[in-house]
Amino acid sequence: MEARDGVRARLLAWSDLVAAERACAAPDRSVEAMTAFLLRHAHWLCAHAAAADVVAEIDETAARAKRAAYPHRTRKFRVGPCVEQQCDGSLVAVIQSHEQLLPSELRCDIDPEHTWPAHRWRELDRRVSRQNSSGGERWLTVVEVSKLWGLSTSNVYRLASVNSWRRRANGRRVYYYEADVLQSVG
């Protein structure tokens, strides 16, 4: 959101400058309209004393937006407890920089032998389902629901409220009953 707001703010500032100095109507405040407006006035902007600033700011803003959309780093987030017997670790989803959205594997944060590459996720799902059907309750944090289903945290809270998900709190952290989450978002 910060990157998007940065794009909007820069386009707005430069559009306002062009409109004021050229004594023409400012564009609508949509990103598309401001971009088209600046493109129409690109030759004038290139001759402006602030041309170097325009180029530097737009370049910086575009680079920041690209980094936000396509991060070049390995990201990790907790998925749930490790499924191996006698293991107190947590399974962590690992997303490599070259991947788009899906993790390349799930790893235990304690035992490196407990690794689940993507081609074994169906097996892992069956194993987790068997463990859950044997009486184990699973609770998910807001962040886990958000990451696993690609939802914003505000959407998670909204869905929890609308669908009356069972919840429990541990200090400031809220957990939702996995079966309720699955019934709502699949």
CA–CA distance, 12 with 6 (Å, rounded to integer): 10
> Which tokens sit at 12?
């707005």
Give the model's pLDDT for residue 79: 81
Element (DSSP H or E) covering residue 9: helix 2-22
Mean pLDDT value of segment 2-14: 90
Mean pLDDT value of segment 61-73: 79
3 state DSSP class of 96: coil
Give the model's pLDDT for residue 134: 54
Contact between 178 and 140 (Cβ < 8 Å): yes
The separation between the first and the last C-alpha atoms of the chain, rounded to the nearest angstrom, is 27
Contact between 83 and 131 (Cβ < 8 Å): yes
- The reported pTM is 0.41
3 state DSSP class of 138: coil
